[in-house]
Structure formats: structure tokens, C-alpha cells
């Protein structure tokens, strides 16, 4: 009874925390800024085919992520909440798919509910669900493709197969061929192990050309229109990463220890246990395929294996429900809950936050007394609450690009003057200033100039702003820099005549 109540409480808290303070923070730079500005421009110009960021072609990724943001801007207005709304929604949707898949595989409701929670509350996944980028949409469409296919495989309902191929097409419109190649590889390996005759199913080969055409039409269009430039970008984004990089082959094994918290270590134990569980074979193949393929690719980024998180969650959840090694599960729960409590305590005192936040540090420890298996999830919830309610508001005080952008709009409401930034470039400024910001050029007379003090002496600043010069996406470093007042600089704004 206590377990069931705890699970339902966690589900409610997860739904709430996914939208808590979602729009309270400015656009993060550099990466989120690309999607904010290009999507705003799409809505204004009605050109939904070719993304333009700061007046420049942005063809690194297909347009579906921009479409989602543009649609959200249309519904909610151009603001930070709208920027991230569909990412939060698709994050929860990915968790739901993980739960559905867990039910199809195990017929265990507890495993299904826990799978949902493990995905949506894992550290890397939660962070990306609050950040506009292609990673969450890709994870959603990969999970949808594979869940629909598995449903087809078990029921032979052709409609499910058609929708699975359609989902892979949408995934390709998020991040290119990987959204088709990886699910196809996973299904192929699974069928080699489980049912080789199914590989010869004609439906797969009849549907594949249509899926590729629907998923790659944008690439074909851009190749025809933007030729050499598009090919260079496409090769850089899809092929150069295969051989250009120096990260070790075990990169993702180490990264998972942090990125898949709060059950990261238990996941590796669960994977060993799952290798002998036939009902988990599909999710084991899914997980290992992503880890092996992207470990062999030279350039490694933590989010590359995130589409495996739904499968990893099913494995972990089923292990928690039915697997052995109860003492290890208990030890890990105590360790990770203590870790969350300690991090909250250190954060409160290091950043000199309101001491009331200390009370949150007690929640993971109290959860251990009632339901030890779920205690790490309660720890994750309060940690994210602390992050969204205390740490990020602390950082927001040190972020002034929105204020700077509003000042530029006040100086030139119609956007008639050229605008330059000298000495540095803040990627989210085009979104807030609602115009192209010219960089790496000498300002012309009759323009607005934003300049790092000491880098431009031809006019007197009307107002100054303190701006961060590093990458805000590296959140931990940004937090330390904000505390130490490091990597910040004063920028003036002037009318240069």
C-alpha cells in the first residue's frame, strides 16, 4: 500500500516539476539560442523550410525541432515557456512510451510505472527536457518507432507497423538518418536472435522507401537549393563525427554514472541480470546497440546515447522489482539519497541561499525509512526542485541578455539601424534584440554598437551591462564562475554616429 501511494505521488510530482519554472529562465547559450531565434523568425516570415539564425543559414539539423518551437510560439506567444513546452511534453511522452513498452514486455504494472519514473527523472534526460534542442524529440521518436514496431511484432497489426515507419520519418526530420538507421539496426539484431524468418517480411521493404522519402525530403530539397554548403554541413554533422575525436571508447560507461542518476550504478547490475532474461531481450539489444555504435564513433557527446534511456529504464525498473542483490539495491539507495542531501546542503551554504532550502535535504533520508527502492526518485525530485527553485534563480541574477535586448529594442523599435557586437558575441542576443547582430566586423556609422569596454573607443556608452562570456550550457562551470565572478565582463551600448 505504501509502495503504491509512493509511486502515484512520484508520478504527480514528476508531472508538476516538468513544468515548474519552465519559462522562468532566459534562453541558454549557445545551443538553445539557435532554436529560439530561428523559430521566431520562421513564425514571422512564414518560411518553415530553411532555418535562419541571426541572418545566417542554419542547416545543421532538419526543421522539425524548429517547427515544434514555432508552433508553441504561435500558441503561447514568443517566450521562454513556449520555447521549452513541447520538449517537456515529449519528455513525459517518452516516459509514457517506456512504461507501455515495459508492460508489453513484462505484463508487470509496477515495472511499467517505475520505468516511466526512471526515464523522466534521470539526470541527463530531465535536463534536456527543459532545454530546446533536438535530443528529446529524437529520443521520443526513436522510442515511438521501436514501441510501435514491437507492438506490431506481437500482434501483427499492420497499422502499428505503418505508424512505426511514419515515426521514423519524423525522427529523421529531427536529426537525420540516425532516426531510421538505429531502430532498423536494433530490430534486425533482435530478429536475428529471436525470429530470423521475420527479417524476410516484405512489408518492411515495401515501407522503407516511403519512410526514407518522407524523412529525407528536406535533405534533398536543401541539397538542390543550397548545394555545396549543405553537403559540407551534412558531412560534418553525420560523417566527420565518426572519425574526428579523441574521447576514449569507454566514455559512455563513465558518463552514464552521472547522466543516468539516480539509478546509474544499478543499471549496470540490471543489464548483467537482464542478459539472461528473455522477456528483456528487445530492450537489451536496444541498449547495447546504442552504446556499441556510439562508443565506436570517435566524437562522443553524452546525449548521443539518450535514445537508449527508455530501454535502460525498463531494464532497471524490472531489476528493481524482480532482480536479486537486495543488499546492493539498499546500499545504493542509501548512498544516492545521502549524495542528493549533501549536494543540496553544500549548494545552500556555498551559494548563500535561503536557509529554508535545507529542509529539502531531509526528504531523501526520510524516504529511505518508508520505501527504500523509490527513495532515490524522491531524492531526484527534491534535487530538481532545488535546482529549478534556488540554483537557477541565483544564476538568473547574473544574466542580463534579455535586459540588453530590451534596451536595444527601445533604442531602435523598428529595427532600422544595423547592430554590432564587438569583443564578444552573445548567442541569445539576436532573439532578445529581435534582429541580426553583426559580429566580427568593424561597425559602420549610423549603427548601434554593443562593445566590451576597452574594445571600442569611438562612442560613449549610454548604458552598461555585465555579460557572461562562457558557455551557459556547461551549467556546473557557469555556477562556479557566477559565484567567483569569473569570465564576466562589462559591455557598453552606444549609438555610433
Per-residue pLDDT of the chain (497 residues; tens, 9 = 90+): 788 899 999 999 999 999 999 999 999 999 999 999 999 999 999 999 999 999 999 999 999 999 999 999 999 999 999 999 999 999 999 999 999 999 999 999 999 999 999 999 999 999 999 999 999 999 999 999 999 999 999 999 999 999 999 999 999 999 999 999 999 999 999 999 999 999 999 999 999 999 999 999 999 999 999 999 998 888 877 776 777 677 899 999 999 999 999 999 999 999 999 999 999 999 999 999 999 999 998 888 999 999 999 999 999 999 999 999 999 999 999 999 999 999 999 999 999 999 999 999 999 999 999 889 999 999 999 999 999 999 999 999 999 999 999 999 999 999 999 999 998 999 999 999 999 999 989 999 999 999 999 889 899 999 999 999 999 988 999 999 999 999 999 999 999 98
129 and 203 both lie in a single domain:
yes
Q: What 3-state class would DSSP assign to 496? A: strand
Using one digit for the tens of pLDDT, what is the confidence trace for 364-409?
999 999 889 999 999 999 999 999 999 999 999 999 999 999 999 9
- The last residue of a domain, from among 265, 289, 322: 322
439 and 312 both lie in a single domain:
no
Using one digit for the tens of pLDDT, what is the confidence trace for 24-40?
999 999 999 999 999 99
209 and 310 both lie in a single domain:
yes
Q: What 3-state class would DSSP assign to 53? A: strand
Q: Could you tell me which of 284, 250, 230, 291 has the C-alpha nearest to residue 57? A: 230
Give the β-pairing of 488-496 and 463-468. Answer: antiparallel
- Within 242-398, strands assigned E span none
In a domain, 4, yes or no: no
In a domain, 187, yes or no: yes
301 and 360 both lie in a single domain:
no
Q: How far apart are CA 203 and CA 61, in angstroms?
A: 29
- The last residue of a domain, from among 289, 322, 355: 322
164 and 234 both lie in a single domain:
yes
335 and 462 both lie in a single domain:
no
In a domain, 130, yes or no: yes
Q: How far apart are CA 463 and CA 485, in angstroms?
A: 20
CA 47 to chain centre: 25
- The last residue of a domain, from among 391, 412, 440: 391
Q: What 3-state class would DSSP assign to 450? A: strand
In a domain, 3, yes or no: no
In a domain, 103, yes or no: yes
Q: What 3-state class would DSSP assign to 365? A: helix
175 and 307 both lie in a single domain:
yes
Place of cell 542554419: 58
Q: How far is CA 468 from CA 53, 270, 396, 473, 481, in A?
A: 21, 42, 11, 12, 9
In a domain, 396, yes or no: no
Domain that holds residue 365: 326-391
78 and 162 both lie in a single domain:
yes
In a domain, 214, yes or no: yes
Residues in CB range of 114: below 8 A, 6 or more apart: 7, 102, 317, 320, 321, 374
223 and 296 both lie in a single domain:
yes
356 and 412 both lie in a single domain:
no
In a domain, 10, yes or no: no
How many domains in the chain? 3
Q: What 3-state class would DSSP assign to 464? A: strand
Do residues 382 and 448 lie in contact, with contact meaning Cβ atoms separated by under 8 Å?
A: no
337 and 427 both lie in a single domain:
no
190 and 107 both lie in a single domain:
yes
Amino acid at each position: 500500500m505504501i509502495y503504491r501511494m509512493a509511486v502515484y505521488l512520484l508520478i504527480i510530482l514528476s508531472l508538476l516539476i516538468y513544468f515548474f519554472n519552465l519559462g522562468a529562465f532566459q534562453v541558454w547559450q549557445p545551443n538553445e539560442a539557435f532554436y529560439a531565434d530561428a523559430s521566431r523568425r520562421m513564425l514571422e516570415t512564414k518560411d518553415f523550410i530553411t532555418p535562419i539564425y541571426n541572418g545566417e543559414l542554419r542547416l545543421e539539423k532538419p526543421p522539425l525541432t524548429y517547427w515544434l518551437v514555432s508552433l508553441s510560439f504561435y500558441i503561447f506567444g514568443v517566450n521562454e515557456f513556449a520555447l521549452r513546452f513541447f520538449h517537456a511534453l515529449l519528455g513525459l511522452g517518452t516516459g509514457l512510451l517506456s512504461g507501455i513498452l515495459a508492460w508489453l514486455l513484462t505484463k508487470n504494472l509496477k515495472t511499467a510505472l517505475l520505468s516511466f519514473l526512471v526515464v523522466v527523472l534521470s539526470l541527463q534526460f530531465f535536463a534536456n527536457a527543459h532545454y530546446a534542442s533536438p535530443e528529446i524529440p529524437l529520443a521520443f521518436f526513436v522510442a515511438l518507432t521501436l514501441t510501435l514496431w514491437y507492438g506490431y511484432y506481437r500482434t501483427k497489426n499492420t497499422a502499428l507497423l505503418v505508424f512505426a515507419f511514419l515515426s521514423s520519418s519524423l525522427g529523421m526530420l529531427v536529426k537525420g538518418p540516425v532516426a531510421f538507421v538505429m531502430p532498423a539496426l536494433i530490430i534486425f539484431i533482435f530478429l536475428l536472435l529471436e525470429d530470423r524468418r521475420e527479417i524476410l517480411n516484405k512489408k518492411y521493404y515495401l515501407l522503407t522507401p516511403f519512410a526514407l522519402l518522407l524523412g529525407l525530403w528536406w535533405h534533398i530539397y536543401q541539397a538542390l537549393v543550397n548545394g555545396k554548403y549543405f553537403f559540407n554541413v551534412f558531412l560534418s554533422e553525420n560523417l566527420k563525427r565518426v572519425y574526428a575525436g579523441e574521447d576514449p571508447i569507454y566514455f559512455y560507461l563513465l558518463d552514464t554514472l552521472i547522466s543516468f542518476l539516480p539509478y546509474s550504478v544499478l543499471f549496470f547490475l540490471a543489464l548483467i541480470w537482464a542478459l539472461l532474461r528473455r522477456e528483456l531481450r528487445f530492450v537489451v539489444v536496444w541498449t547495447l546497440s546504442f552504446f556499441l555504435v556510439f562508443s565506436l564513433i570517435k566524437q562522443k557527446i553524452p546525449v548521443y546515447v539518450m535514445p537508449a534511456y527508455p530501454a535502460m529504464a525498463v531494464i532497471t525498473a524490472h531489476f528493481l522489482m524482480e532482480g536479486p542483490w537486495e543488499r546492493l539495491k539498499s546500499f545504493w539507495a542509501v548512498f544516492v539519497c545521502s549524495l542528493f542531501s549533501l549536494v543540496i546542503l553544500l549548494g545552500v551554504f556555498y551559494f548563500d541561499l535561503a536557509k529554508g532550502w535545507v529542509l529539502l535535504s531531509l526528504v531523501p533520508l526520510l524516504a529511505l525509512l518508508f520505501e527504500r527502492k523509490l527513495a532515490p526518485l524522491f531524492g531526484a525530485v527534491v534535487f530538481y526542485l532545488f535546482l529549478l527553485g534556488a540554483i537557477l534563480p541565483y544564476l538568473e541574477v547574473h544574466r542580463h541578455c534579455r535586459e540588453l535586448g530590451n534596451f536595444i529594442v527601445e533604442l531602435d523599435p523598428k529595427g532600422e539601424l544595423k547592430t554590432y557586437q564587438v569583443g564578444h558575441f552573445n548567442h541569445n542576443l539576436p532573439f532578445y534584440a529581435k534582429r541580426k547582430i553583426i559580429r566580427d566586423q568593424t561597425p559602420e556609422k549610423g549603427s548601434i554598437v554593443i562593445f566590451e569596454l576597452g574594445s571600442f573607443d569611438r562612442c560613449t556608452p549610454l548604458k552598461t551591462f555585465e555579460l557572461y562570456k562562457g558557455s551557459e550550457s556547461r551549467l556546473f562551470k557557469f555556477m562556479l564562475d557566477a559565484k567567483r565572478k569569473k569570465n564576466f565582463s562589462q559591455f557598453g551600448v552606444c549609438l555610433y554616429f
